């Protein structure tokens, strides 16, 4: 596994996939196109959620594009589905310090 800019990247040659998390959040989970549909995403999520359990996390929240059907299907296998409670994801740059 290679870690670059807080992204977790795995290849089939990795002996064990480990999840890197900071403040109980994984910054990005990405499987290179050449290695998709080989179980890498499943392995990454299994390890990530195992680490979350170790850290005492109770819930998981992921962001994924609405058109990313393969990722949505993978997350659904782990019980993660789009929120149906009216929540909206808000994002933006932090305001300038002292604003």
16: tokens are 């064990």
35, 11 contact by CB (below 8 A): yes
Write the pLDDT tens digit of every residue in 28-66: 777 888 888 898 889 888 888 888 888 787 778 888 888
- pLDDT at residue 73, rounded to an integer: 93
Distance in angstroms (rounded) separating the CA atoms of residues 96 and 35: 40
Domain ranges of the chain: 2-77
């Amino acid at each position: 596994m290679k870690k670059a800019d807080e992204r977790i990247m795995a290849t089939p040659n990795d002996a064990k996939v480990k999840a890197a998390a900071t403040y109980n959040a994984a910054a990005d989970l990405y499987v290179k196109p050449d290695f998709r549909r080989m179980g890498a995403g499943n392995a990454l999520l299994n390890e990530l959620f195992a680490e979350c359990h170790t850290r005492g996390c109770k819930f998981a929240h992921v962001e994924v594009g609405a058109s990313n059907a393969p990722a949505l299907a993978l997350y659904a296998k782990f019980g993660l589905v789009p929120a149906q409670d009216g929540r909206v994801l808000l994002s933006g740059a932090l305001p300038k310090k002292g604003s």
